[in-house]
Structure 1
Amino acid sequence: MKKFLLGIGVLTLIATGFSTMDTYRRVVNNSFGPGEHIEYRVHYGFLNAAEAIVDVSPTLYKVNERPCYRVNVDGRTVGAFALVTKVRDTWRSYIDTNAILPQKFYTSLRENNYRKEENITFNHLNNTVRAEERTERDVFHVPDNVHDVVSSYYFVRTIDFSKLNVGQVVEVPAFYDDTIYNMKVKYRGKDVIKTKFGRINVLKLTPIMPPNSFFKGDDAIKIWVSDDANKIPLKVEVELAIGSLDMDIRHHAGLKHPLRFF
């Protein structure tokens, strides 16, 4: 009888364990991995305005008992722009390797005299987000499979766009700055662009922006990503209310698949 009860107990633990594991989705990721490094240059007209570096750590981290990629995004103004507007921003996301969901998100913003530093912890089992070291409301209820601003981009990279129709919109729930919103990206078809490394086949994407006075229209941001398994952004154009910004890739290393230029 004791052996029978012990057996039932073991089976219950196993069943419970698998039930807990199954609460996480599983996303097939053939697009990125540890050690990916990409650098971008941002232009305002003919002037170099800023640079951005996107790094996936070569080491995996364990956060909330889950293996995670650590992704750093660093942006800063350069040259004459840094004299007028000094920006030193860092976003860091710990992205679950199996679910491609954030487990932790760190923000450090230094923009002229403005300062903000914050750590956000995601609990996908009970659909909450907790902002650490906050004196105000610090726990938020969020929808299933919610993202931060960095992990949402990496999740979009795992999407098979060959199965989408031109004009189709992908929606990803996201949490940023105490706000829950649906990030919407429209697939605009295929194209070929010229880069410093040569010409390359790309997919055209347009994030759908809510009405505002900062961007020029709801399709003010256009992104061209490599039409391959990597799906990394190669070029970005942003139409502002005053002028426009262009971002181009200037260096890449550690990609999961070689880029095919011609």
Structure 2
Amino acid sequence: MICLFSTSLFALPFQDGEKLTFSVKYGIIKAGTATFEAKSSTYQNRPVWRLCINAQTYPFFDVVYKIRDKIESWWDKETLLPHKSSKQLHEGKYQQYRIHYFDQVNKKTTYMKWSYKEEKWKTEEKNLPFETQDIVSSFYELRNRSLKPGDKPKLYVTTDGKSVVTTVKVLRREKVSSIFGDVNCLVLEPDMKSEGIFKGSSKLLIWVTDDAYKIPVKVESSVSIGTFVVQLEDAQNVPYKIKKSN
């Protein structure tokens, strides 16, 4: 079997316990927060990275557009392929709760979708066309790649019951102000082929440090009500010192 993601365990660009905290701004208003976390854990007695993204708006902003999102991945430390992914979204009036269980060896997935109307799970068994990442692990796997402007790396992703090949455009290098000071970044633009943070995004731009760590320092997401700007405001267990707050 050929693994599409043959990444060395010891070359990962993040440390155990890495936690990135972002402010979520709508215009000039600080509307909420988001966190990205990577922790050591186990899944069915196998060592995994438990990757988690949380995003929420502050109560005062909930009347405008309420966000309560939690997306998790149980990512095998040896194969760097997920065993399970979970996605719970509450954005405006929209709600979603979906789970994937992955059998990477036999290229199968059990897909569970919660019906809020019927108050029960709907389960499907699906074939996987390839070894796959999920929506969270794909970003952490991308951080380990060598990237430069003009590159268009492909990600093999399964989410929401669909397996897709997504292209990420590396648009340019750009220096931006961050909590680490002025840092050189790569600007990434992934294809928006799935529902995630945030649902209905027509365009997503991500600024990551232009080095081996590729720490995200800024995200811009265009949604139906406007544009959210997500900026890094705190970082734990990273190889940089915080110099200032945004």
Query: TM-score, normalised to structure 2's length?
Result: 0.82
Match of 1:126 in 2: 106
Q: Given the alignment of the two structures, is residue 155 of structure 1 paired with residue 105 of structure 2, yes or no?
A: no
Instruction: Give matches, 1:1-262, under 5 Å.
Output: 26-28=6-8, 29-57=11-39, 59-61=40-42, 63-64=43-44, 66-111=46-91, 115-132=95-112, 136-161=122-147, 164=148, 166-209=149-192, 215=201, 220-240=203-223, 242-255=225-238, 257-258=239-240
Structure 2: gaps (5+ residues): 115-120, 194-199
Report the more deviating stretch, 246-255 or 84-93: 84-93
Query: 1:174: Cα distance to partner?
Result: 1.0
Q: Is the 8 A contact 1:34 1:60 kept in 2?
A: no
Deviation per CA, 1:146-201: give whole Å up to 9, x if none: 1111001011001011xx5x322111111111122222101123221012441111
Q: 2:113 & 2:226 partners in 1: Cα distance?
A: 39
Question: Could you say what the CA RMSD is over the residues aligned between the two structures, in angstroms?
Answer: 2.7
Deviation per CA, 1:111-140: give whole Å up to 9, x if none: 466544343211110111113587645111
With over 3 angstroms needed to count, the CA separation of the structure-2 counterparts of 1:189 and 1:112, relative to structure 1, is closer
Q: 2:175 & 2:242 partners in 1: Cα distance?
A: 12
Query: 1:25: Cα distance to partner?
Result: 5.2
Give 1 or 2: higher strand fraction.
2
Q: Is the 8 A contact 1:199 1:261 kept in 2?
A: no
Q: If you compute each CA radius of gyration, which structure gives the higher value, 1 or 2?
A: 1
Query: 1:260: Cα distance to partner?
Result: 8.8
Report the more deviating stretch, 198-207 or 100-109: 100-109
1:120 alignment partner AA: H
Match of 2:197 in 1: none
Query: 1:261: Cα distance to partner?
Result: 7.0
Where 1:160 maps in the other structure, the secondary structure is coil
Identity percentage of aligned residues: 26
Q: 1:254 & 1:241 partners in 2: Cα distance?
A: 35
Q: 1:118 & 1:243 partners in 2: Cα distance?
A: 26
Q: Is the 8 A contact 2:187 2:205 kept in 1?
A: yes
Where 1:100 maps in the other structure, the secondary structure is coil
With over 3 angstroms needed to count, the CA separation of the structure-2 counterparts of 1:80 and 1:157, relative to structure 1, is same
Q: Is the 8 A contact 1:64 1:103 kept in 2?
A: no
Q: How many residues align?
A: 230
Give 1 or 2: higher helix fraction.
1
Structure 1: gaps (5+ residues): 1-18
Q: Is the 8 A contact 1:200 1:261 kept in 2?
A: no
Query: TM-score, normalised to structure 1's length?
Result: 0.77
1:108 alignment partner AA: Q
Where 1:83 maps in the other structure, the secondary structure is helix
Q: 1:159 & 1:226 partners in 2: Cα distance?
A: 13
Q: 1:86 & 1:242 partners in 2: Cα distance?
A: 12
1:155 alignment partner AA: E
